[in-house]
Amino acid sequence: MDAADVERIYSSYSGVYDALFGKVFHRSRCHAVELLGVKPGQEILEVGVGTGLSLPLYPRWCRVTGIDLSEKMLEKGREKIRRHRLTHVRLVRMDASAMEFETDRFDAVLAAYVMSVVPDPRRTLDEMVRVCKPGGTIVLLNHFHAKHPLGARIERWFSPLCTRIGFRSDLDLEHLLAGSGLRVTIGRKVNPFGYWTIVQCLNTKSETAREPVPRWRAAPGARRATLRA
């Protein structure tokens, strides 16, 4: 799926998205927003905000920016802003893998049900790390590749269907996080059947490499300066 496919598919879902994915994922969205640990006056970014189902969950003492590729999804989000008078929220059409925000702009970043939809998850995560302050929090709520051989096999069968309806089922969490500068602080299975996972991460980018280090060069405990030499 490229960006045009994503935009087309999710624009076509915009009218029915809340009915299909609202209630069923409500508790996990609440949990994900809680794990952001929002403090008064903080700047929060939600990537792939969609129709804004999580927007009423943010405390009013922070400022929230939501971005999405699909203008039709964002239009539903804007309706929620008006309905709930969410004056602390703004929505912008933007590609999460090439954000226009300056580095270290946000205190916390959320991606709920997004990483397996974006065309380039590694690049999107790198962008989330870049725009998040060092020591900030990044929360991912997503399905990650099953570790159990049977589960992994079933996922492979369903993979072409999943892609057609707008997400991939084979995203590997360890591979996604490798070299990202994120340290996992909490990881929990959530939602019906524990199919989805919430991962809370600390952004340690000032201590670690920002660009992913090629795996074949990275010796355990090796420092970036050594690797570059």
| Interface residue list for ligand SAM (CB under 6 A) | 3, 6, 10, 21, 29, 47-50, 53-54, 67-70, 73, 95-97, 112-114, 117-118
| CA pair distance 110, 220, nearest whole angstrom | 30
**Minimum CB distance to ligand SAM, residue 208 (Å):** 24
First-to-last alpha carbon distance for the chain, in angstroms, is 37
**Minimum CB distance to ligand SAM, residue 20 (Å):** 10
**Minimum CB distance to ligand SAM, residue 196 (Å):** 11
Closest CB to ligand SAM among residues 101, 209: 101
Closest CB to ligand SAM among residues 107, 127: 127
Closest CB to ligand SAM among residues 13, 145: 13
Closest CB to ligand SAM among residues 190, 209: 190
Sheet with 182-190, strands from edge to edge, namely: 89-93, 63-68, 43-47, 106-112, 132-142, 196-203, 182-190
Q: Which tokens hold the place of 93?
A: 């059409």
Residue 148 DSSP one-character state: S
Closest CB to ligand SAM among residues 53, 182: 53
**Minimum CB distance to ligand SAM, residue 210 (Å):** 20
Residue, CB closest to ligand SAM: 50
Are 67 and 48 in contact by the 8 Å Cβ rule? The answer is yes
| CA pair distance 226, 229, nearest whole angstrom | 5
Q: Is 41 exposed, middle or buried (0-12, 13-18, 19+ CB in 10 A)?
A: exposed
**Minimum CB distance to ligand SAM, residue 223 (Å):** 32
